[in-house]
Amino acid sequence: MAADIELNHRLMCEAALLYTGRWPRHSPVAASGLSAAYLMGVNLLPLSGAKVELTSAAYIRLRHDGLAAVRSPMVQEDIQTSMGLPHTSPERTVFDLARRLDRVHAVSAIDALLHRRLTTLDKARSYLLGASMFRGRNRVSEVFSLADPLSESPMESELRLVIIDDGLPRPECQVRVFDLNGSVVARLDLAYRALRIGIEYEGDHHRDRATFRRDIARVRALQAVDWTIMRATAADIYYPDNFLRELRSLIEGASRMITLSGHSDGIHRL
C-alpha cells in the first residue's frame, strides 16, 4: 500500500512534523515559509530540492537533508491549520518570507500570497509593527514596499523588479486598456498608463500557433489606440541590458512627446 501513496509536499510536511516528536501534543511547531504557502494553496516550491521548513519557539533537532528547522518566537496566534496540518498564519508567513528569502524571491512569493487574497499588505505591515523581537525585520519594510497584489506570476514580479532596479519609474500591474467605444482591448501585465507604454511577459504558452495569432491581433488593437507594446521573455529578465535600453528609450521619447504637446502632467503621474 505504501508504494501507492503519492509523495507530495503535504505528506512530507506531515512526516516532518511527526519526526520532531512535538506535534501534535507538545510545544508549538508549524510548517513555515514556502511550506506554509504550499499548505495554503500557493505552490512556490522549486522544481527540485524543495525542503520542508518548520518553525518552533523551542529547539528542534532535525538530521535530514530534506528538512530545515527554524527556531523563532511563535505564539498560538501565529499558527493556523490547512490540509489538516499546522502552518504559520498568512501574516507570519509573509513576514518570514520577507526576512529570510533573497529580495527577488521574497517579493515574488509575497506577490503570490497577496494575489490569492490570503492576506493584505495592511495586515502584513500591522504584523511587522508588533514584531520588534524578530531577527531580520529591518529588511521587511523594503520588501513590502515592492510587493504588488495585482501581479499574476513570479516572472511578472521579477520583470517588475528588473525595471525598478534600473532606476526606471515603477510600472502599474494589470492595466486595462479601452478603445474609443469604452470596450476593453487588453489587460497588460505592466504599463505606464500616462505614456501609453505596455510591457508583456511572454512565457512558453505564447509559442503555440493559436496563441501567437491572438497576440498579433491584440497588439494591432493596442496600436490602434496609440499604445506601444514591449514584449519580454525570461532571457530579458536574466540578461536585461538590451531590454532596459529599449524601454528607457521608449519612456524618454514618450515623455518628450508629452512635453511638446503641453500635457506634462502625465509625466508626473509616473
For range 243-252, the mean pLDDT: 97
**Digit-coded pLDDT (tens) for 152-189:** 999 999 999 999 999 999 999 999 999 888 889 999 99
For range 22-38, the mean pLDDT: 86
For range 34-62, the mean pLDDT: 88
Specify which residues 82 forms β-bridges with.
Answer: 85
Contact between residue 45 and residue 34 where contact means Cβ atoms under 8 Å apart: yes
Give 154-268's CATH code, choosing from 1.10.150.120, 3.30.590.10, 3.40.50.300, 3.40.960.10.
Answer: 3.40.960.10
Q: Which of 27-41, 47-61, 140-154, 244-258 is predicted with the least confidence, judged by mean pLDDT?
A: 47-61
| Maximum CA extent, the chain | 74
| Backbone φ, ψ for residue 262 (5° rounding) | 85, 10
Domain boundaries, the chain: 2-146, 154-268
Report the predicted TM-score, pTM, of the whole model to 2 decimal places.
0.86
**Digit-coded pLDDT (tens) for 204-218:** 554 556 666 777 788
**Digit-coded pLDDT (tens) for 87-109:** 999 999 999 999 999 999 999 99
Average pLDDT of the chain is: 88
Whether 142 shows a pLDDT value over 70: the answer reads: yes
Angstrom distance (rounded) from CA 246 to CA 198: 13
CA distances 198 to 68, 175, 186, Å, are: 41, 8, 10
In the chain, % of residues over pLDDT 70: 89
- State how far Cα 97 lies from the chain centre: 11
